[in-house]
Chains A and B, each alone.
Chain A
Amino acid sequence: MKSILHLLEGDQTLGRGPRFWCTALVVLVGALVFGGLASSFAVDTASYFLVWVFMALGLALMWGLSGTLSFGQTAFFGLGGYCYAIVATNFGPDNGLTLVALLLSVFLVAVIAAIVGLFMFFGGARGVFVSIITLAISLSLETFLSQTAGPQWKLGSALIGGFNGITSMPPITIPWFGSDYEVTGRAFYYAIVAVLVLTYLALRIVGNSRFGDAMVAVRENPRRAEALGYNVKAVLLAAFVLGSSLAGVSGVAFTTWGLYVSPDTMGLAAAAMPIVWTAVSGKDLTATFIGTILLLALSQTLAIYGSQYAYVALGVVLIASVLTCPEGIVEKAMRLSLSQSGPGNKVRTTSRARWRNA
């Protein structure tokens, strides 16, 4: 147990030592107090922000550690959400079957990610082609789901609903003696915080483990990694499945938060959002965590003026950030304040590619 805990700190994650962990603890306590004292509207909004962090962390792992820029996070987000919606609608809230729906959804996302990853990585796809293929998949899924408006489109008793999505489904319901307990509102907030904290800590451990080192080797020099005995394709696949499953978790969380899911969450704009968050924040896990919440808060604030203005502002922030601060604004700030050097964590700009055609 001790040796696992010691992996909470390492080359692949920023932040170490008592000062860092005390700060984190303070933030956690603050979050828990907030959940009890703030208005229900504020708590619901906070839950909404936290829902997306899983997906962002998954991308930070895939892109930051193994070098795979996947545009598929939204596809897996959608798959997770729709799966929960369909299963929960069909089975209903009794007997804890919503919990089954939750687990089944994440599991299904993992399986599909494994199949897609198998095709891609073991078929030899690399680099930008992985990005484009996953983008095509996200867009395809959105296109498909948008067309499923008619009554013939249903699975069991759940209408897929086309552009409008699925809007009535039971929330996560925990069976209890007497009356069942619905996980909504503040309870939902605490549940999300708990799961998120555990996920964050688990990802830190994974990142600093031997698997984390393997991912770094594969990212930095796949040929050399292979010559050192690393099964490059398997490493890429594992990272992809893990990162994509986290997107599925976000999808389920989102759907159980608002009790609705629609293809909106999967179009071109949505597909690029996790990329925006990770690119602007920096690919370190903690940087992504913090940055995603900040950016979501920013979008939310700007959306008051009209979503077009919010998008334009977000676009400008992204361009400025990538061109001037390629390692990410939040990450840079963290490094300066922690004065921690971590060359293993440096963002690598892709080396010049040579395209052999003609």
Chain B
Amino acid sequence: MDIASLVLQFGSTAAFLLLSAVGLAVIFGMMGVVNLAHGELIMLGAYGTCLSYSHGLPLAAAMICGVGLATLAGMILEATIIRRLYGRPAESLVVTWAVGLIVSQGTLIILGPSLPSIPTPFGSFVLGTKSFSAYRIVLIAASVLSLLAVHFLLKRTRFGLHARATMQNPEIARAIGIDNAKIYRWTFALGSALAGVTGALYAPTMSIVPTMGGSFIVQAFVTVVTGGGNLLYGTLPAASGLGFIQTALTAAFGNLLGVLGLLAAVIVSAGVLPNGLAYYLSGKRVS
């Protein structure tokens, strides 16, 4: 097994974990809301892309439609339901799970069990003795780019500054004139958009079924659990670490042990770093 293909495999796995998790981490880190409907938002991103593509739009435009659909759905969700659940993680778990169920089953009822799939673009290339889909490189690049984009948004823009203030101390933020409700609304929209991006990007690689959100949600949760709510100090190292473990184990022992090793890593990290990597890596915590 040559190094180059291992590195590529690692990159793909980490990218998948990262993209799945980033939207969830933003919402969780900001609002203490655990959004179990995250998988369904990803699914809507994929469905939006598929539907637009099959109506003749070029792939890139179709993806933008997918992101748009997911974002819109997220904003509606926030305005009607999520708004009442801020700071209540247990209830948000329960309610968002129900929403996810309604959305996935509703999609099944309305659009049937599957949609025609989209062919993977960019063809393949040969590395050593194996051929790989060139699209994988796009996915890896996209995952890194989206993380950097969100990080830039949070750290270097005015919105980001207001968002971080609201996250750390909502009452004081409100007292200095920041509109909490507006920040929450836009942050949830951001998280939903990121979910949409994930769905849109992975649409050409998967079968389009209403329950496809399920394939992402485990990975997303596992990454957020390990990483904690912070993006740079949590989600990124978690995705990389877990991706590394999964790749190494898969290469050595096969697919199943790769997945199992991932899950064992999560359980161990729960015992060793129960509040997530971010808590420990950021170094700014007060006991």
- Whether chain B is bound by chain A comes out as yes
Chain A residues near B (Cβ < 8 Å): 69, 71, 116, 118-120, 122-129, 131-133, 135-137, 139-140, 143-144, 147, 267-269, 272, 275-276, 279, 306, 308-309, 311-312, 314-316, 318-319, 322-323, 326, 349-358
| A318-B266 contact, Cβ under 8 Å, with A312-B101, A349-B88 | no
In the complex, A353 Cα to B225 Cα: how many Å?
Answer: 16
Docked Cα-Cα span, A349 to B89, in Å, equals: 9
Nearest-neighbor residue (CB-CB) of A141 within chain B = B263
Query: How far is B164's CA from A275's CA once the two chains are assembled, in angstroms?
Result: 32
8 closest Cβ pairs, A-B complex: A352-B87, A125-B274, A119-B271, A140-B263, A128-B89, A357-B230, A123-B271, A315-B102
| B86 engages A352 (CB within 8 Å) | yes
Cβ contact within 8 Å between B169 and A354: yes
- Chain B residues in 8 Å Cβ range of A119: 267-268, 270-271
Name which of B65-73, B126-134, B188-196, B216-224 contacts chain A: B216-224
- Which of B42-50, B51-59, B104-112, B135-143 sits within the interface? B104-112
Min CB–CB distance B64 → chain A (angstroms): 29
Pair A312/B109 contact, Cβ less than 8 Å: yes
Contact present for A144 and B260 (CB under 8 Å): yes
Q: How far is the CB of B153 from chain A (nearest CB, A)?
A: 12
Asked if B8 is an interface residue, CB under 8 A from chain A, the answer is: no
Q: Which of B105, B222, B228 contacts A357 (CB 8 A)?
A: B228
Question: 1/0 contact trace for B140-156 toward A, CB 8 Å?
Answer: 00000000000000110
| Given A132-B224, A356-B168, residue A124 in contact with residue B256 (CB < 8 A) | no
Given that A125-B270, A127-B89, A308-B109 are contacting pairs, would A135 and B99 also be in contact in the complex, using a CB cutoff of 8 Å?
no
Chain A residues with CB under 8 Å of B214's CB are 267-268
Stretch from B12-20, B90-98, B201-209 at the A interface: B90-98
Whether A69 and B90, one on each chain, are in contact in the complex, defined by CB atoms closer than 8 angstroms, is yes
Which residues of the partner chain B approach A272 to less than 8 Å between Cβ atoms?
Answer: 36, 94, 97, 101
**Which of B218, B230, B260, B268 is within 8 Å of A358, CB to CB?**
B230
Do A133 and B266 have beta carbons less than 8 Å apart? yes
Closest to B279 in A: A356
Q: Is the CB of B84 within 8 A of A323?
A: yes
A135 to B267, CA, bound (A): 11
A312 and B106 within 8 A (CB): yes
Question: Cβ of B91 and Cβ of A322 under 8 Å apart?
Answer: yes
Question: Are B95 and A132 interface neighbours, CB within 8 A?
Answer: no
Q: How far does the alpha carbon of A350 sit from the alpha carbon of B93 in the complex, in Å? A: 12
Known: A267-B214, A268-B217, A357-B29. A326 touches B91 (CB 8 A): yes
Q: B275's closest neighbor in chain A, by CB?
A: A129
B81 at the interface (CB under 8 A from A): yes
Apart from A132-B225, A140-B266, A144-B260, 6 more pairs, CB < 8 Å: A128-B93, A275-B94, A308-B105, A308-B106, A312-B109, A358-B164
In the complex, the answer to whether B278 meets A132 with C-beta atoms within 8 Å is: no
Taking CB atoms, residues of chain A closer than 8 Å to B109 are 306, 308-309, 312
Quote the shortest CB–CB distance from B4 to chain A (angstroms): 28
A131-B101 contact given A139-B221, A353-B32, CB 8 Å threshold: no
Indicate with 1 or 0, residue by residue over B257-274, a CB within 8 angstroms of chain A CB atoms: 001100100111011101
User: What residues on A are CB-neighbors of B114 within 8 Å?
Assistant: none
On chain A, the residues within 8 Å of B29 by CB distance are: 355, 357
Once the chains bind, are A357 and B278 in contact (CB under 8 Å)? yes
Instruction: Check if B182 is an interface residue, CB within 8 A of chain A.
Output: no
